[in-house]
Structure formats: C-alpha cells, structure tokens
Amino acid sequence: MADGLLLLGCGAFGRVHLRALATLGRGGEVVVHDPDPAMRAAAAAEFPGLRFAASVEEGLARCAAAIVATPVPTHAALAEAVLRAGRDLFLEKPAVETAAEAERLAALARERGRVAQVGLYFRFHPKARALRRFVLRGLFGPLHCLAARFSGLKRARGDSGALLNDAVHFADLLPWLAGLRVTGVFAQLADPLGRGREDLALIQLRFAGGAIGFIEAGCVLPGRWPDAVVPGAETRKEVILAGRDALAEIDFAAETFVLRRGRHRPAGNGAWLPEHGPREAVGVPAADPVRVVAAELSRFLACVALRRTPEADLHAGAVLPARLLDAARRSAQEGRMVSLEEAG
C-alpha cells in the first residue's frame, strides 16, 4: 500500500485542505478524487502537478489515509469505504447526518483498528484553545452560561441546513470548552426560505451542574464580518463564556478575545453589584482557515504515525454532537426539552 493521502472532494474547503497540506510540506503526497470537472479544474489551476484518481477505489489503492471533504450526504458511505479498505480517516464536519450513522462508523473504526478524526475546526483555533486552558485552570470558577453564534447572511447550502452546516461547530465546541456534559436540549427550527430545510436554528442547552447554553445558527440573519471561506458571505462567529469569577468574549471573525475578571458581590437590601476589572485583550495570534486546518491535519498525521486515538475521534467528534443535534430536531418537533438520554 502506498503512503499517499487521498483527498475526496476539492471544492472550496477541499482546496483549503490542499493549502494546509502544502504548508505542512505534505502537498506532494496528495491524490485527489472529485467527480466534478469544474472542481478538478479549479484545483489543478491552483496546484500545478496535482495528481488525480479516476475513482474512489483507485485513490484508496494508492493511499494509506483519506480526507473526506465532500457534501454531507456522501460522508457516511465514503467514510465506510475508507475504513473497510483499511485506511485511516479524516472526516470533515459534520461527520454524518445522524447519531446512528456516527455510531456505526465509530464501531467500524474500532473493529478495523483505524485512526479516525473528525474535522472540528474550532477545537484547533488558537483562541478557543486558549479559552479552554483558562477554564481548565479554574480561572472562571463554576460556569453558569455559554453562548455561541454561527450565523449570517450567506448561501443556503443544497446539502444541509443550519444544524449540520453551522450549529454542529458549537454543538461540539461548547461542551468541549466547558468540560461539561449536555443533559437537555430545547430547540426551535424555522424554514424561512421555504425550501424544506431549517435555515434558522435556536438551541438552548442544559449542562450537568446547572450551567445553561445557547446556540444561534442560520444563513438568513445579519452578518458582521466578511466570511474567510465563502466569498460574498457576511458572518458572525462568536462565543461568550461566563462564570462566577470571570467573563470572556471571543469573536472568531474579528480575531478578538476579551476577558473580564471579577464577581458579583452582595451590596445590601438583597442587591448584588458587579465588581469586575477592566476589559483585558488576551493576546492570542490570529489564525486563518489554512492555519487552523493545518493544525487539525498535523494532529491527525501524528496520530496516524504513532497509532494513537485522536481526541476528536468518531465518538467524541461525531457521535456526541450528532446526539445533540438529533435531540434538537426532536425537541423542535415535540415542543419540549429533550434529554440526551432520550436522544441516544
């Protein structure tokens, strides 16, 4: 078996993977398969000498690992083909459409002894990683709120709605940041474009220990900043985290990270007043999509070389977020909070 890397899909984000692999010095190992001639032509124009495979089977025969960066409905079948061929797998988000599909893939990866990592972009963003370090050090004390926006004015993808395209990022990121398990989900979904998909999603979370969370996702809301991946799109990608001892705000699109330390304290007559210090700008380097994806792929390739299980494996990175989104769908249908135990 060859040692190459098979890239399945060279659309906009697939080409981000190609740029990331080039920065890692691994561009010469890549073989690409994409059935769309326009996508192949765009990739070949940007990467002269890029090698292509005529089929998935040919690509797998030439490579030891595969990156799946294709439309969401194709993920389950392609990931299964990669694992059954005995190849290691990097599966872009959202890994699959349902928790049941994720569980089948996780079981198959274990059965075949393959390294499998999900492309959870924000886990590898320097600002998210810095925030998690603060949480782990106890800077915030007990957490009481985590909120996130992944919304804006942008194209409505043909292969997915707001849950799988946008909300999935923070369905993973918020529990990861907090180190807390989600126990309940209440969601409202809307189809404002009338195309049969939820293009607006509002999700409330209940965490073990009592913290609450909120995720806003959609393509029909005002954006604030140009999207770094999709030309012409306006976006908001923001996280707020609040605890007893500190507050934090991250704007991933603007590359800002602000911290305020302090507590509310009793002031008599039942009132509590905030005693927080000034806003502190946390100095964390900016990171464009190529740098973040390069960090993801570097971790994947290291796990492949060492035969180690990635932190964002198919259970953590696919099964758990999918259960949360399954619960959001059920909640919207039934108009009630759904426990994660009910969702899987």
- For residue 317, tell me if it sits in a domain: no
Residue 3 has a pLDDT of 80
If asked whether residues 276 and 156 sit together in one domain, one would say yes
If asked whether residues 129 and 269 sit together in one domain, one would say yes
pLDDT exceeds cutoff 60 at 1: no
Residue 60 has a pLDDT of 97
Q: Look up the CATH number of the domain holding residue 14.
A: 3.40.50.720
pLDDT band at 341 (very low <50, low <70, confident <90, very high): confident
- For residue 344, tell me if it sits in a domain: no
- Which residues lie below 8 Å from residue 89, measured CB to CB, with a gap of 6+? 65, 66, 68, 79, 82, 83, 109, 114, 115, 116, 117
Write out the DSSP string of 163-203.
Answer: IIIIIHHHHHHHHHHHT--EEEEEEEEE-TT-SSS--EEEE
Give the chain's end-to-end CA distance (angstroms, integer): 38
If asked whether residues 154 and 255 sit together in one domain, one would say yes
If asked whether residues 55 and 69 sit together in one domain, one would say yes
If asked whether residues 146 and 205 sit together in one domain, one would say yes
CA separation for the pair 159, 169 (Å, rounded): 16
Residue 20 has a pLDDT of 97
pLDDT band at 26 (very low <50, low <70, confident <90, very high): very high
If asked whether residues 204 and 97 sit together in one domain, one would say no
If asked whether residues 116 and 246 sit together in one domain, one would say no
Residue 2 has a pLDDT of 63
- For residue 318, tell me if it sits in a domain: no
- For residue 219, tell me if it sits in a domain: yes
Number of domains in the chain: 2
CA separation for the pair 301, 94 (Å, rounded): 20
One-letter amino acid for residue 219 of the chain: C
If asked whether residues 147 and 248 sit together in one domain, one would say yes
pLDDT band at 129 (very low <50, low <70, confident <90, very high): very high
- pTM (whole model) above 0.85: yes
- For residue 209, tell me if it sits in a domain: yes
Q: Look up the CATH number of the domain holding residue 230.
A: 3.30.360.10
One-letter amino acid for residue 146 of the chain: L
If asked whether residues 138 and 213 sit together in one domain, one would say yes
Read off the pLDDT of residues 60-118 as tens digits, 9 standing for 90 and up. 999 999 999 999 999 999 999 999 999 999 999 989 999 999 999 999 999 999 999 99
| Domain housing 114 | 4-120+292-311
If asked whether residues 89 and 226 sit together in one domain, one would say no
If asked whether residues 141 and 241 sit together in one domain, one would say yes
If asked whether residues 90 and 237 sit together in one domain, one would say no
Q: Is residue 248 within 8 Å of 127, Cβ to Cβ?
A: no
Residue 231 has a pLDDT of 83
| Portion of the chain with pLDDT greater than 70, in percent | 99
